[in-house]
Structure 1
Amino acid sequence: MVCGIASVIMGWLILPQLAAIITGHLALRREPSGKGMSISGLVLGYLCLLGYGAIWLLLIIGLTVASTTGANSGTF
């Protein structure tokens, strides 16, 4: 769950999401008493991975479109 919370705060790095997903799955298998915390870490990890992944994808697409249209419209 700690890695899931860290992925909300430092999500642009992708590393906290992967750590939350991996440790969440390991905790589900090894520790049945902490099932709620491991599920919350998994949910936060997957949601942040999808959310920040979408932001990165939109940023890359936007920069690509802006650079291709900006280079052609430079003449007056």
Structure 2
Amino acid sequence: MAVAPPPRGKSIASMVLGLVSVFFGFTLILPLIGFIMGLTALKSEPTGRGMAVTGIILNGLMLLGWVVLVGFFLLVVVGIGASSVNTGVAA
């Protein structure tokens, strides 16, 4: 009698979402979903650990990219606002 292999769907999905978000677009939703799926896969799918860790790393890097991008944007906007106040130039 053959034993069915344990499920690894979340691990595979996390890794695939990480690869898709790296190669096909810089979105916020895909890495967020992939990161969450990777974390839940670590707890529920011990046989897919490698794929789950890969998904967590890829999705985490993409989320970090969003944090850096938003931080840079805020820094530029605040810098422009502060420089126009200090020089008396109307924006």
**Interval of TM-score (by shorter of Structure 1 and Structure 2):** 0.7 to 0.9
Which 4+ runs in 1 deviate beyond 3 A?
A: 70-73
**Structure 1 residue 7 corresponds to structure 2 residue 21:** yes
The count of aligned residue pairs is 74
**How many angstroms does 1:36 deviate by?**
1.2
Structure 1: state its 5+ residue gaps: none
Computed over aligned residues only, the root mean square deviation of the Cα atoms, in angstroms, reads: 2.1
TM-score normalised per structure 2: 0.64
State how far apart, in whole Å, the 2-side matches of 1:7 and 1:61 are: 25
CA distance in 2 between counterparts of 1:10 and 1:60 reads 22
State the SS of the aligned residue for 1:10: coil
Match of 1:59 in 2: 73
* TM-score when normalising by structure 1: 0.74
Which stretches in structure 2 are left out of the alignment for 5+ residues? Answer: 1-14
More helix by share: 1
Looking at CA atoms only, which structure, 1 or 2, has the larger radius of gyration? 2
